[in-house]
Each structure stands twice: as C-alpha cells, then as structure tokens.
C-alpha cells in the first residue's frame, strides 16, 4: 500500500483524492522525518517563549477581541482547551466522510511545516485518527472564511481532547468512545495547540480541491455530451477546425476544439461540409468557446488550490533563524479571499456548462428547433407519450437554481469579534455553493447524455444501424445502452436518470 509522507510542501490533488475516497485501500499517511524535526523545533520554541514570559497572541493572550487579555502561565493549557469547546458551534449537516478525510489530511500537512507550534505528539494523533478511520463529525456551516475556518475546525479537533462526536466503522458515537474503540488516547493540549488546530483555511481548501477535481471531470464529460448531441442532431464538426481556433488563441479553447475533433473522428453521424446547412446553432457551434472558457476557470482554481495545499495558514506564525532566535509574527494567512474568489469564479463558470447543456437538451427534444431531424420529445407516439419532455423541465429547473448559486459569496462580508475581524471572505459559503452547482450540473449532463443516446437511436433508423459514431462517442453510447435502454414508450424514468448520474459522477463516461 502506498504511503504518503507529509512535509507541508509536496501534497498533491491526487494524494488528497486518494486519501479522501480510497476507503479500505486509502494510502497510509505519515509525517516525514524532516517535518518531525521542524515541528519539534517550533513546539520547543513555544515553551521557550512561555519560560521567558513573552507576550504572544494566542499563546499568552486571549483570542480575537480578547487579544489584549494576558493569560497567566498556569492557565495556558486551559486557554487552548477553551478555544476548542467555545468555537465548536457549527450547524447544519455534517460533511461526508471523504471531505472530512481531506480536511484532516490537509490540516496535518500544513501543521507539518513547523511554523505553528504544535507538538509532534498532537500532530501525530491527528494523523493516527485519519489512519484508523476515526472521522470527527464536522457541521458544514459556521465558517466566515477568515480567522480561518474556526467553527468547523474546532469540531474536527474535539475528539483529540475527548470531546465531540466521531464516526468510526460506520457508526457515529462520542469522540471518546471512538478513540477507545480505535485504541487511541485523548490528550491535554499545550500552549498554542488549540489555535494551531483551528486557525486556517482547511475547510475551504479541502472542499476546493475536491470540487475542482469534480469540475475537471464534468468539463470533459460536457465535451463528450456535446459531441454525442451533435451527432444525434446531424450537426457538423466544421466549427471545430483548428484553423478557426488558431486565430483566437485562447489555449484552452484550442485544447477543447482538439478534443472534440478526436471524439468525433470517423463519425458517420455528422453532416457533410458541403451541405447547404453550413452552420449549427450556438450550443453546438460554440462548444469550444464556451467549454474552453470554463476550462480556464478550472485551471485557475487548480492553480490557487495547489498553492494553498502546501501553505501555512494559521496565526501567529513562529520563525526560528540560523542563530536560534525566535520570532512570533501575527499576520493574516488565514484569510480565505484567494480561495473564495477562485470558487466563485469556478461556480458561475461551471454553471455555464449546465446552461449550455440544458439548451442542447431543449434542441434534442424540440422538433422545430432541430429541423425535424428527431421526433418531438424523442418519442414515437407523441401525444400518447410525453417522451423526454419533462426531463428537459428538470434540466431547466436545475440550470435556473444554479443561477442563484452563481451569485458570488466573496463580494459580501460581515464584521465579527467586536469589529476586530472586520472583513471576511465568506469562502466556506462559496465552497458550499460551488458543490451545489456541481451537483446540479452532474444531473443536467446525465440528462443530456441520456437524451442524446435516444436521439442517436432515432438517427440510426434513418441513416442505418451500421453507421458508426465517432471514435470517442461510440464507447460512451454503448456504455449508456448497457445501463439505460431505448425508451419505446412512457415509463418510470427517474431510476434511469440516477443510473446515468452515477456514471457521470464516477468518471465512467470519460473512461468509456
């Protein structure tokens, strides 16, 4: 089994995905030897500061608006305990297990850089929880995306001190009981540790990484769905000619057009270039321009989150120079603005994949729009049968909902902590909205693929069953037909829709 060694500098998207979704086959996580030395050095520095009586935020002072309240040395441990129990005020549904595992991994990684002052034993306990499958119950809502993701991260850390709830082997129980069953022991936090565990952008980062990976899958799936729809609609691939796109050299527009050409290569379902009908509607003709622009947003999100995965985002930070001089600096790396903007940009961009997909579904089902290439609502006996009429309604409802979710969270702010924390990013809200957009796009693309396959079957009745789809789309069509039959007459369709959604969500459309 693969082992991932955390050093705070080299964690990748693919490693996060493997730990989050790997289940019983997830890689084991360890702290690198180099990181252990740096973590220990910073923890020793905290003890040195205490022995000197140095005043340092969050170590010998209160938090937020209580930054000027000096904490006596004999109450420093209680201070760290109190930050967890007082900040664990999240609400809403708990994060699913994959997201929770990503949160734990990313938090452990940033603490491994050795600037946070946490003891190695405390950090190792967080890693041991992850490896043992002890998953804290973390409510989704409560973070403002500045001063870090305080409330949800407090819930993450509660089992470490014997508090809170956790999931273990499929059962939710008290954190203390989960530790007992897993053979772990809770601890008393030392100076700075409560702050180190809670003060950072980990919730935003975990969700951003996982949702960016989904966006990458759905972007490619949208290209595939668009090509299968084009074949069902007797469209032309002329608009994907590389000469067109080289004259407007957006790199990802060019990449998208090349991918579309590869999917459609060898297709006998596309319209001849010499046809009098020389161009298609925008939803087919402009796929590279629209889908390519979405690829830009996805690439930006990956860039931002690749940086954040290996960033130190708590406060204050501890620096030790070559002469062993200790400096504690207060700053604002916990502020989630770069992530909030990236997720808002990604959310409204991915919503466009849903918008254009829904319009292609409309064209597949509207006989007049597709110039009578396909029967009305993709059914043989229209009137008696409604066919795919209401599937387009569902897609339209989801696309419309996404327009609400596309409103940026990052343009809002609300002051907290007696106006000390007077500007916040709302990055966690942006992350939750992004996930909702992707959920809806996942279903819209599923409907388009199902509709396009139905349309291809009607085309076969006209041009002949022996005609071949494109090199990329023929495998997708065959996979759809293994799950979803041609709909001869009205039947219960939501189960087919769910089966199709699973194929999209699991990346099987891309694999096919």
The pLDDT of 416-422, averaged and rounded, is: 86
Query: What are 2-21's pLDDT values in tens digits?
Result: 899 999 999 999 999 999 99
Of residues 450, 428, 406, the one with CA closest to residue 148:
428
How far are the Cα atoms of 63, 128, 201, 471 from residue 47, in angstroms, in the given order? 19, 24, 26, 65
Q: Distance between CA atoms of 280 and 270, rounded to whole angstroms? A: 11
Looking only at Cα atoms, what is the longest distance across the chain? 87
Kindly indicate the confidence band of residue 49, based on its pLDDT and cuts at 50, 70 and 90. Answer: confident
Is the separation of the CB atoms in 4 and 20 below 8 Å? no
How far are the Cα atoms of 45, 75, 105, 119, 140 from residue 62, in angstroms, in the given order? 19, 11, 28, 20, 26
State the burial class of residue 81 (Cβ atoms within 10 Å of its Cβ: 0-12, 13-18, 19+).
middle
Q: Distance between CA atoms of 56 and 105, rounded to whole angstroms? A: 28
Count the residues in the chain: 512
The pLDDT of 142-170, averaged and rounded, is: 96
Q: Given a cut of 90, is residue 65 above it in pLDDT?
A: no
Instruction: Quote the pLDDT of residue 79.
Output: 87
Q: Distance between CA atoms of 316 and 115, rounded to whole angstroms? A: 9
Query: What are 185-233's pLDDT values in tens digits?
Result: 999 999 999 999 999 999 999 999 999 999 999 999 999 999 999 999 9
Is the separation of the CB atoms in 175 and 159 below 8 Å? yes
Q: Distance between CA atoms of 35 and 9, rounded to whole angstroms? A: 10
Domain ranges, ordered by start, for the chain: 3-200, 208-511
Q: Which residues pair with 167 in a beta bridge?
A: 135, 172
Instruction: Quote the pLDDT of residue 507.
Output: 97
Provide the token pair at 496. Answer: 């087919």
Instruction: Quote the pLDDT of residue 64.
Output: 66
Instruction: Quote the pLDDT of residue 72.
Output: 82
In CATH terms, the fold of domain 3-200 is Fumarase C; Chain B, domain 1 (1.10.275)
Kindly indicate the confidence band of residue 471, based on its pLDDT and cuts at 50, 70 and 90. Answer: very high
Kindly indicate the confidence band of residue 63, based on its pLDDT and cuts at 50, 70 and 90. Answer: low
Q: Crossing angle of helices 33-52/120-132, nearest 10°?
A: 140
Query: What are 348-367's pLDDT values in tens digits?
Result: 999 999 999 999 999 999 99
How far are the Cα atoms of 19, 24, 25 from residue 1, in angstroms, in the given order? 12, 10, 8
Mean pLDDT of the chain: 95
Kindly indicate the confidence band of residue 73, based on its pLDDT and cuts at 50, 70 and 90. Answer: confident
Whether 5 is catalytic is: no
Q: Given a cut of 90, is residue 465 above it in pLDDT?
A: no
DSSP for 365-405 reads: H-TTTTTTSS-GGG-SSBTTB-TTHHHHHHHHHHHHHHHHH
Q: Distance between CA atoms of 321 and 314, rounded to whole angstroms? A: 19
Given this structure, which CATH class describes domain 208-511?
Answer: mainly alpha
Counting residues of the chain whose pLDDT is more than 90, the rounded percentage is 88
Active-site residue, from 5, 21, 57, 168: 57
Residue 4, C-beta contacts closer than 8 angstroms, at least 6 positions apart: 11, 15, 18, 19, 27, 28, 29, 30
The pLDDT of 55-80, averaged and rounded, is: 78
The pLDDT of 378-389, averaged and rounded, is: 96
Which of 65-79, 116-130, 162-176, 457-471 comes out lowest in average pLDDT?
Answer: 65-79
3-state secondary structure of 109: helix
The pLDDT of 239-260, averaged and rounded, is: 98
């Amino acid at each position: 089994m693969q082992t991932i060694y955390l050093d705070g500098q080299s964690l990748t998207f693919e490693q996060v995905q493997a730990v989050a979704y790997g289940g019983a086959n997830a890689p084991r996580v360890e702290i690198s030897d180099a990181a252990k030395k740096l973590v220990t050095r910073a923890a020793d520095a905290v003890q040195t500061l205490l022995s000197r009586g140095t005043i340092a935020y969050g170590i010998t002072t209160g938090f937020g608006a209580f930054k000027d309240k000096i904490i006596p040395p004999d109450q420093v441990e209680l201070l760290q305990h109190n930050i967890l129990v007082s900040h664990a005020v999240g609400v809403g549904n708990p994060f699913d297990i994959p997201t929770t595992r990503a949160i734990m991994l990313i938090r452990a990684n940033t603490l491994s850089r050795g600037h946070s002052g946490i003891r190695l034993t405390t950090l190792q306990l967080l890693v041991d929880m992850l490896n043992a499958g002890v998953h804290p119950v973390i409510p989704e809502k409560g973070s403002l995306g500045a001063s870090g993701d305080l409330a949800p991260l407090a819930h993450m850390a509660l089992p470490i001190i014997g508090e809170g709830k956790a999931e273990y082997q499929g059962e939710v129980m008290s954190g203390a009981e989960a530790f007992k069953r897993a053979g772990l022991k809770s601890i008393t936090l030392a100076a700075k540790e409560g702050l180190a565990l809670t003060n950072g952008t980990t919730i935003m980062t975990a969700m951003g990484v996982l949702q960016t990976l989904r966006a990458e899958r759905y972007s490619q799936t949208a290209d595939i769905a668009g090509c299968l729809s084009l074949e069902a609609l007797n469209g032309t691939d002329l608009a994907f000619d590389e000469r067109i796109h080289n004259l407007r050299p957006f790199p990802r527009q060019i990449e998208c057009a090349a991918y579309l050409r590869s999917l459609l290569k060898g297709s006998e379902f596309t319209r001849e270039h010499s046809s009098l009908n020389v161009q298609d509607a925008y939803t087919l003709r402009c796929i590279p321009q629209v889908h390519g622009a979405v690829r830009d947003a996805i690439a930006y999100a990956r860039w931002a989150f690749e940086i954040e995965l290996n960033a130190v985002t708590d406060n204050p930070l501890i620096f030790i120079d070559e002469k062993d001089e200790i400096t504690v600096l207060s700053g604002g790396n916990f502020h989630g603005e770069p992530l909030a903007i990236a997720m808002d940009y990604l959310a409204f961009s991915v919503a466009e994949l849903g918008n254009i997909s829904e319009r292609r579904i409309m064209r597949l089902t509207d006989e007049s729009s597709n110039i009578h290439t396909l029967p009305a609502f993709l059914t043989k006996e229209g009137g008696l049968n409604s066919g795919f009429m209401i599937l387009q309604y569902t897609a339209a409802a989801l696309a419309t909902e996404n327009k609400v979710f596309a409103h940026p969270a990052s343009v809002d702010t609300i002051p907290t902590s007696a106006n000390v924390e007077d500007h916040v990013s709302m990055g966690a809200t942006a992350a939750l909205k992004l996930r909702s957009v992707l959920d809806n796009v996942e279903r819209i693309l599923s409907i388009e693929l199902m509709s396009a396959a139905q349309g291809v079957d009607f085309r076969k009745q006209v041009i002949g069953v022996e005609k071949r789809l494109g090199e990329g789309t023929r495998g997708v069509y065959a996979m759809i037909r293994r799950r979803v039959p041609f709909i001869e007459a009205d039947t219960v369709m939501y189960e087919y829709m769910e089966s199709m959604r699973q194929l999209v969500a699991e990346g099987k459309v891309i694999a096919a």
